Amino acid sequence: MARGARILEGEHTAQEILRDVRQQVRDLDDEHRLTVTLAFVVVGDNPATLQLIANKKARAEDAGLRTELHTLPADTADGEVITVIDGLNHDPGVHGILIQHHMPRYRDARRLIEAVDPAKDVDGFHTANAGLLATDVPAFVPCDALAGVHLLKEHVDPRPVGWHAVVVGDTHRTGRPSARLLLGERCTVTIAHEDTRDLADICKQADILFAATNRAGMIRAHHVKPGAAVFDLGRSRITVNGELRIVGDVRFDEVREVAGWVTPVPGGLGPVAVAMLMRNVVTACRRQKRLDARGARHAG
Amino acid sequence: MARGARILEGEHTAQEILRDVRQQVRDLDDEHRLTVTLAFVVVGDNPATLQLIANKKARAEDAGLRTELHTLPADTADGEVITVIDGLNHDPGVHGILIQHHMPRYRDARRLIEAVDPAKDVDGFHTANAGLLATDVPAFVPCDALAGVHLLKEHVDPRPVGWHAVVVGDTHRTGRPSARLLLGERCTVTIAHEDTRDLADICKQADILFAATNRAGMIRAHHVKPGAAVFDLGRSRITVNGELRIVGDVRFDEVREVAGWVTPVPGGLGPVAVAMLMRNVVTACRRQKRLDARGARHAG
């Protein structure tokens, strides 16, 4: 048996999705005079956040989307931020709204997310969208989860019915929607977390392992069943020799010796997730304008 | 070691909950002139459904609630049913609304459930309530799930952190909310279903087994780890010697020899679930009138 996992780089897949997004953006412009637009609302000036937003903004523009950046000082009151969000909710020229995630500690992130019109919540974080996913009529699904399942189906098994998937991490934004999508694919799904006993034993049962803890390098070789497909959805910022690095949950160099497939960080799920976000924005625009995937207008 | 499971009869627990409900209903009447009211909307005349509704109605009245029964012919158009629901949504004298479940096949049950005001959805089936549960701010949670977790905490472990729970059945109304509540208790949770491979091996890992498939008697002794706590959330109607009987998912006579705890059907979870429903109605009334658990009026 050949040793060493197949490395699932996401860039190629991301480019395929973005090519399709670009075509749809052009069609919406040509046929309906619509300029697909994504608005960012950023509170404060955390450099890491600004870098993240700049990357997404560049990707969006590369995909042909128009972007708007609304930056507010770190000490802006929640009520004022909500006023900005509400303006975007009611602006027919804005189709998707992203709220920056790394809120100062005192700020009630949930309240701001709930202020976004669910029809423009392209991150899929609003409870209305969580409810739709929970009842099998997904509208907007968080992009890391979409990206993981997309890579699974593209590279490992297009119909993963009956496989045992273990999702490590029960977060609203990543672990939970991943579990729900994997159940939708008819996997048996175990959700593990920091209170799980014998985590390695649980993980070792996984045909498909989704790591979504944001705890750097916690998934090691002894967590992985030989030949399993390992998807790293974690992101942590660590400093190595004074240099900031983004690392995942998976100890890549160890796990690649055991797994059948593994996504690297960076370069694995990340680019696919960003492409999925852009696809969500196009979907949002179509739905708001009642256009189906062919560009025809709905009756309803 | 003593053989034989402890049988978790629910009637005593149900009576405790109902005693508290009765007291709250009296207080709301005495202090606020509120008559806590539950409305049933029943389409068609399926005898089993009418029997179920009659039982719930009797329990509600026994708990001091006022009930309203709205029965519509089986051929009523969805739009007309929704008109009735909408009238109840806007009636300040109605605090909870139940839609009968066993819709004729052609009828879009989801559409009717979504027509109920989430604030009056005491069954917890509306996507808005599923979303709140998915994001850890539960409002109304389906009563079978509430009952299972209540009996678990009352009789087995008040803090089941880190136990491995296996939920068999991924239904909107029972399996999914059970999994979410068990995760809220910090159990490790596996969700299995009809596409699960090696179901017995998966179930045998369970410290806590929730059976929610509605497949009569499918959980047998070889599915159960010795000493496990087994909760039977399933209901099937079968005919034995010409007599209609309600049975659960668990082959009780086998499983009681292996398990540490097991709920019988009938008499286990059922009465607790009905009591939880009544508690949801009182909670709905309080929230609609902005009253906290002490009866004081909220500022907001």
Q: Are A195 and A201 in contact (CB under 8 A)?
A: no
B202 touches chain A (CB under 8 A): yes
Euclidean distance between CA atoms A99 and B254, whole angstroms:
54
Do B188 and A172 make contact, defined as CB atoms within 8 angstroms?
no
Length of chain A: 300
A188 and B197 within 8 Å at the Cβ level: the answer is: yes
pLDDT tops 80 at residue A225: yes
ipTM for the complex shown = 0.93
> Band of the pLDDT at B103, cuts 50, 70, 90?
low
The total number of residues shown for chain B amounts to 300
Comparing CA positions, the residue from B145, B33, B13, B43 lying closest to residue B92 is: B33
Chain A residues touching B164 at Cβ < 8 A? 197, 202
Evaluate if residue B149 carries a pLDDT over 80.
yes
User: Known catalytic residue: A123?
Assistant: yes
Neighbours of A85 (CB within 10 A): 22
Q: Which residues pair with A265 in a beta bridge?
A: none
| pLDDT value of residue A296 | 67
Q: Where are the alpha helices (DSSP H) in chain B?
A: 11-32, 47-62, 78-89, 109-115, 127-134, 143-151, 175-184, 199-203, 252-255, 269-288
CA–CA dist A215, A237 (Å, integer): 10
Mean pLDDT of B21-43: 96
The C-alpha atoms of residue A166 and residue A168 are separated, in whole angstroms, by 6
Mean pLDDT of B274-298: 88
Spell out which residues of chain B touch residue A183, defining contact as CB-CB under 8 Å.
170, 191, 193
Which position among A24, A56, A225, A232 bears the catalytic label? A56
- Taking contacts as CB-CB distances below 8 angstroms, the residues of chain A near B136 are 172
Q: Is A253 among the residues known to form the active site?
A: no
Q: Would the pLDDT of B300 be above 50? A: no
Of B197, B163, B199, B201, which is closest to residue B182 (Cα–Cα)?
Answer: B163
Listed in sequence order, the residues at least 6 apart from B193 whose beta carbon sits closer than 8 Å to its beta carbon are A183, A186, A188, B168, B169, B170, B175, B213
Question: Between B76 and A158, whose confidence is greater?
Answer: A158
**Is the pLDDT assigned to residue B49 strictly greater than 90?**
no
pLDDT band at A74 (very low <50, low <70, confident <90, very high): confident
Which amino acid is it at A64? G
Instruction: Please give the average per-residue pLDDT across B39-58, as a whole number.
Output: 90
Are B249 and B215 spatial neighbours (Cβ–Cβ below 8 Å)? Answer: yes
Rounded-to-integer distance, Cα B40 and Cα B53, Å: 8
> What is the pLDDT, as a whole number, of residue A196?
98
Token pair listed for B272: 């607790």
Strands B236-240 and B243-247: antiparallel
How many CB atoms sit inside 10 A of residue B213's CB? Answer: 22
Q: How far apart are CA B223 and CA B210, in angstroms?
A: 12
Which residue out of A121, A135, A209 would a mutagenesis test of the B interface target, given it has the greatest number of B Cβ atoms within 10 Å? A135
Task: Answer whether B151's CB lies under 8 Å from B231's CB.
Answer: yes
pLDDT tens for A5-18 read 999 999 999 999 99
pLDDT beyond 50 at B273: yes
CA closest to B159 among chain A residues: A195
Pick the closest to residue B178 from B150, B207, B205 (CA basis). Answer: B150
On the question of pLDDT at B1 being above 50, the answer is no
Of A134, A161, A183, the CB nearest to B130: A134
Q: What is the pLDDT of residue A106?
A: 52
Cβ distance A136 to B183 less than 8 Å, yes or no, reads no
Q: Domains in chain B, ordered, with CATH?
A: 142-272 (3.40.50.720)
B128: burial class by Cβ within 10 Å (0-12, 13-18, 19+)? buried
Please give the Cα distance from A218 to B114 (Å, whole number).
Answer: 42
Under the phi-then-psi rule, with left for phi > 0, alpha for psi from -120 to 50, and beta for the rest, what region is B294? Answer: alpha
Mapped onto helix, strand or coil, the DSSP state of residue B242 is coil
Encode pLDDT of A160-205 as tens digits: 999 999 999 999 999 999 999 999 999 999 999 999 999 999 999 9
Check CB contact of B164 with chain A, cutoff 8 Å.
Answer: yes
- State the Cα angle at B255 between B251 and B260, rounded to 5°: 145
Q: What is the pLDDT confidence band of residue A268, given thresholds at 50, 70 and 90? A: very high
Residues of B that are catalytic: 56, 100, 123
Report helix, strand or coil for A210: strand
Region B92-104: what's the mean pLDDT?
85
Give pLDDT, residue B2: 47
Q: What is the pLDDT of residues A114-129, one digit of tens each?
A: 999 999 999 999 999 9
Give strand pairing partners of B41: B70, B99
Q: What pLDDT is attached to residue B3? A: 65
CB contact under 8 A, A191 and B188: yes
Mutate to test the interface with A, among B196, B202, B204 (most CBs of A within 10 A): B196
Spatial contact of A135 and B172, defined as CB atoms under 8 Å apart: yes
* Mean pLDDT, residues B228-238: 95
DSSP assignment letter at B297: B
What's the whole-number average pLDDT of chain B? Answer: 93
Per the annotation, the verdict on A51 as an active-site residue is no
B49/B179: higher pLDDT: B179
Q: A136 and B172: CB-CB below 8 Å?
A: yes
Q: How far apart are the first and last CA of chain A?
A: 56
pLDDT of residue B101: 62
Report the pLDDT averaged over residues A268-291. Answer: 96
Residue B211: count of CB within 10 angstroms of its CB: 33
Position A208 pLDDT exceeds 90: yes
pLDDT value, residue B151: 98
Is the predicted pLDDT of residue B105 greater than 80, yes or no?
A: no
Classify burial at B104, counting beta carbons within 10 Å of its beta carbon; exposed 0-12, middle 13-18, buried 19 or more.
Answer: exposed
- For residue B66, pLDDT over 60 is answered with yes
Residue B197: which pLDDT band, with cuts at 50, 70 and 90? very high
Contact (CB<8Å) A130/B134: yes
Whole-angstrom Cα distance, residue A35 to residue A95?
9
Beta bridge partners of A43: A72
Strands (E), A136-283: 164-168, 188-192, 208-211, 229-232, 236-240, 243-247, 261-262
pLDDT over 90 (residue A47): no
Contact call for A130 and B131, based on CB within 8 A:
yes
DSSP B99: E
The band of A104, judged by pLDDT with boundaries at 50, 70 and 90, is: low
Q: What are the two backbone dihedrals, phi and then psi, of residue A45, each rounded to the nearest 5 degrees? A: -135, 40
Distance CA B133, CA A44 (A): 30
